[in-house]
Structure formats: structure tokens, C-alpha cells
Amino acid sequence: LKTAMGQSHAKIIFFGEHSVVYGQPAICLPVSKIKTSVTITAVNTGQTIQSRYFTGKLSAMPDSQTGIQLLIRTILTELKQEATPFAMQIESAIPAERGMGSSAATAIAIIRAFFHFFEEPLSHSELLRLADVSEQYIHGNPSGLDAATTSSRFPIWFVRGRRPQTIPIKQNAFLVIADTGILGQTGLAVQYVKNRLAQDPQAELAIEHLGQNAKQARICLANGDANTLGHLMNDTQKNLAMLGVSHPLIDQYIKLALDSGALGAKLTGGGMGGCLIVLVNNQTHAQKIATVLQQNGAVQTWTEPLRSLKHKG
């Protein structure tokens, strides 16, 4: 039985959420341990999908899955395989709507699986172009940051409209990622910031400040300065909260983490729910903070050494 697999992983925004919309740089990190896998198996008849949202025929996917359906049809058309029967299984450990790039990761894994299945070469720019088909449908006007990071093994320096760059990391610190369990509301948060900018001159300064922090963070990542990185995270959180995109539970978990000795903490992604990230010195401390957050209601936590995220070159 012929089968092929495609994989991808979660992403987090380390610095630059919201300000990236206004041309400032963002630093995004792949989270390789939180994976999405797509398996395609050759069958005699039918084109079927099995995922946590839907099991059935490609032609019978519900409205909520139109982005994925459109992507699959585009791939099949471009590869001239419109009528080829297949059974697709999508498995993802990435929670949806928490700013962890679950929809982009699914798209990336599907594209990789199909190109593998049909033994066609796939360039990185083609991968991103195809991922944009479902991302455009699902998110309206995506920056491309999610697809770039969920398909990369390396940290990404992202400026809207420019080619994503990979950046070096020389750090012994650890990150704890914690899920509040509350759905993030990226669309609403982006709109909220837009309104703030129209009314409040301070908001413009905050955006500028967020961009400066991303630039400084890039230097700290390269030279191993975890303490300054922690300060930059705290300052970034202050500015994001000022823009109105934090959440009471995020604030509460951040306080808990800092009271437990973390170097810094902030929300990640669009905010108004979703996940937070915490910087700590070592793995033991990371585990301790993950436990504290879970005991206080975080639905899931992950710890990840920053040093595992190496630069390509």
C-alpha cells in the first residue's frame, strides 16, 4: 500500500506581535516538539479526509473546512491529479486558535504529504505560495508569518512583505509555553489596536517601542544575554497590555511566573486569550514554573530550550 507523510510544527511569536502589522520586525520561533502529521494512503476509490474536525469525503467537507478543501483541490489541480483516489489522515498536537499556527501547520503538512505522495519536487517558495491558498481563505489577509515559521526549523526574523530570514540563537535559557485554554481572538485584537491607533497618540509610540524591543531581542538572542531578554519580554508585555490586547488570565499567569523567579514573561500571538511564554534560566526552573501554572489552571504547558533552535548557516 503506497503511503506518504508530510510534517510541520507549531510556532510562537517571541517578539513583534501587533507591531509587525505596522511594518515592525517580529521574531518567530518554531516549536518542533508540537507536531502536525499528514499521511496519505493510496486507495482504490474515493478521496477522503480524517481529522479532528471532519471525517468523510473531500467533496462533503463543511464550511468550517473550506480553506483546507480549497487547498487540497488546488494542489490536485496543479499536479494534474484531480481524480486520483486517496485517504488522508491529519493528526495535530497543536491546539487551535491559540496563536500557535495550527492552520498554517496543517496546510504545510498537507502540501508536503501530497508532493511526497506524487513524488514531485517542492521548493520552499512553492510551499509558502500554496499554504497561502488556505491561509488567505481562513485569515483574510495573513502576513505569511505562520506559514514561514511552521515550515522552518530555524527562528525567523519577519518583516511584512520581505523574505523571511533565519537568525542565530546562542542561549542556554528555556521557554515555558502555557495555554490559558481561552481561544485567542487575533482578528478582534488586530481591530482593537487599529482603533486605538486612530484615537490615541500613545498607541503609536507603543508600536514603535515593540519594534525596538524586537531589534534588541535579536541582539540578545545572538549574544546569550538572557537577563536583558527577560526585561525586553516584560517591557513588551507592558506595551501590549497598554494597547489592550492582554487578558486577565494572561496577566495572572505572568505575575505567578515572575513571582516564581522567571526572567520575563509575555503573551504570544494575537492575545485577548491564547498562550503566554515565560523565559527561565534552566530546565529545572522551567519545569517548576510549568507545574505552578498548571496547578493554577493552565490547560497545557510545554518547555523548550532556546538553544535547540539553531541557525541554519
**Binding residues vs ligand PMV (CB under 6 A):** 13, 17-18, 20-21, 99, 143, 145-146, 184, 186, 190, 269-270
Q: How far is the CB of 4 from ligand PMV (least distance, A)?
A: 28
Q: How far is the CB of 303 from ligand PMV (least distance, A)?
A: 19
Identify which of residues 184 and 264 has a Cβ nearer to ligand PMV in the complex. 184
Identify which of residues 76 and 272 has a Cβ nearer to ligand PMV in the complex. 272
Q: How far is the CB of 286 from ligand PMV (least distance, A)?
A: 22
Q: How far is the CB of 185 from ligand PMV (least distance, A)?
A: 9
Q: What is the CA 25 to chain-centroid distance, rounded?
A: 16
- Contacts of 80 by beta carbon, 8 Å cutoff, 6+ apart: none
Q: How far is the CB of 18 from ligand PMV (least distance, A)?
A: 5
Identify which of residues 35 and 160 has a Cβ nearer to ligand PMV in the complex. 160
Between CA 66 and CA 54 the distance in angstroms is 11
Which residues does residue 300 pair with via DSSP β-bridges, in sequence order?
179
Identify which of residues 19 and 171 has a Cβ nearer to ligand PMV in the complex. 19
Q: How far is the CB of 261 from ligand PMV (least distance, A)?
A: 27
Cell numbers at 284, concatenated: 529545572
Cell numbers at 289, concatenated: 514554573
Cell 503506497 -> residue: 2
Q: What is the CA 89 to chain-centroid distance, rounded?
A: 21
Identify which of residues 20 and 76 has a Cβ nearer to ligand PMV in the complex. 20
Identify which of residues 98 and 112 has a Cβ nearer to ligand PMV in the complex. 98
83 C-beta neighbours (distance < 10 Å), count = 7
Identify which of residues 186 and 234 has a Cβ nearer to ligand PMV in the complex. 186
DSSP symbols for 77-126: HHTT-TT--EEEEEEE-SPTTSSS-HHHHHHHHHHHHHHHHTT----HHH
Give start and end residues of each alpha helix (H) in the chain.
66-78, 102-117, 124-139, 145-150, 186-199, 201-223, 226-243, 248-259, 283-295
Which residues does residue 179 pair with via DSSP β-bridges, in sequence order?
275, 300
- H/E run at residue 307: none
Which amino acid makes up residue 234?
N
Q: How far is the CB of 119 from ligand PMV (least distance, A)?
A: 33
